[in-house]
Amino acid sequence: MGGLLFGTGGIPNSTKTRTTIDGIRRIAELGLGCMELEFVQGVRMSESSARQVAEVATREGIKLSAHAPYYLNFNAHEAEKIRASQQRLLQTARIAALCGAGSVVFHTAFYLGDPPEKAYNTIKQYLGEVLHQLSQENNRVRLRPEVMGKGSQFGTIEEILNLCTELEGLAPCLDVAHWHARTGACNSYPEFASVLLQIKERLGQAALDDIHIHFSGIKYGDKGEIKHLVLQESDLKYVELLKALRDYEVKGLVICESPNLEDDALLLQKTYNTLPKVS
C-alpha cells in the first residue's frame, strides 16, 4: 500500500449512472483513491460483472474493498442463522476476490443477552470455519470485523483485536465514528493515538501499514450510534484523527460514510494533504 487513500462507502452521490463501474470511474475523476463495494443488502453481482469491475479498478488505479450484508450474526441462537451468516460472508468474499478487492468488512454479531465471553467463543468458532473454507479455496481476501457503535453489538476494539490475534486471515476495520458513539469518548489526538498504538502492539506494524478505517460524522445517545452525519455537522474532531494517522505514518484505506460521501471524503483528503509532514 503506497500511502493513505481516501474514498467512499459505495458509489459517489454525483455518479450519473448508479453502476459500480461508473462509480469507480467517478472516484478517479474526483481524484480520490478507493471505494468500498456495498453488498449490505445482499450480493447481487455476477462473476462476469465482478471481473469487469476488477479490470476497470485496475485501469483507473482505484483500490477496492467490500462490505458484507448487514444481516450477519455469528452469535445467533439458531443453527440455520449461523449457517446463513457463514454463507453470506463466504459469498461476499468470493465476489470481492473476483472484483480485486483486498478486504471484506462485516458486522460480526449481537450479544443477544449472552455474556461477552460466551459470545466471543461462539463467534470465534463459526468465523474460524469460514476462514478455513476460504483458505481451502485459496481466497486471499482479508476479512475485517468492524468496531461497532452500539452496546448491544459485539465489536469493542478489544474484542476485535482479540479475534484478529487468534484467527489468521482477520484484520480490524476501525470505525472511528462508531467507537466515539459507543464510548462517548475517543475524540482527541491522545485517544486516537492510543488506539493506533493498541493496534500496533497487538497486531504489529503491518496492521498500520494496511489499515481499513470507516469515518463519518455521527449522532449518538446513551445507547450509542443513532445515525451518520456530515462531518462538519458533528462533534467528531476529524483533524485530530488525521494528525494521528500522519504522525504514526498509517497506510491503507479511509472510507467515508457521511451522507454527503465524496464531499467529506475530499475534505478528509484535502485536510490530510495539507498537514505538515512528519519530520
CA atoms within 13 A on the CB side of 170: 27
Q: Which three cell numbers stand for residue 199?
A: 493496534
What one-character-per-residue DSSP string does 187-238 give? Answer: -SHHHHHHHHHHHHHHH-HHHHHSEEEEE-EEEEETTEEEEEE-GGGS---H
Domain contains 27: yes
pTM confidence score: 0.95
**94, 103, 19: which is closest to 65 by C-alpha?**
103
User: Could you give the CA distance from residue 42 to residue 20 in angstroms, rounded to a whole number?
Assistant: 15
pLDDT at 276: 86
The confidence score (pLDDT) of residue 279 equals 59
Residue 198 lies in a domain: yes
Domain of residue 245 covers: 4-274
pLDDT of residue 277: 75
Q: What is the pLDDT of residue 181?
A: 94
Residue 279 lies inside a defined structural domain of this protein: no
Find out whether 86 and 126 touch, Cβ atoms under 8 Å. Answer: yes
Reduced to 3 states (helix: H, G, I; strand: E, B; else coil), residue 38 is: strand
Distance of alpha carbon 40 from alpha carbon 77, whole angstroms:
22
Classify residue 32: in a domain, yes or no.
yes
Count of structural domains within the chain: 1
Q: What is the Cα–Cα distance from 273 to 279, expressed in whole angstroms?
A: 15
pLDDT along the chain (279 residues), means of 10: 88 96 98 98 96 98 98 97 98 98 98 97 98 98 97 97 97 96 95 97 97 95 93 95 96 97 98 85
**In this structure, is residue 199 part of a structural domain?**
yes
pLDDT per residue as tens digits for the range 15-60: 999 999 999 999 999 999 999 999 999 999 999 999 999 999 999 9
- Residue 123: inside a domain: yes
CATH at residue 218: 3.20.20.150
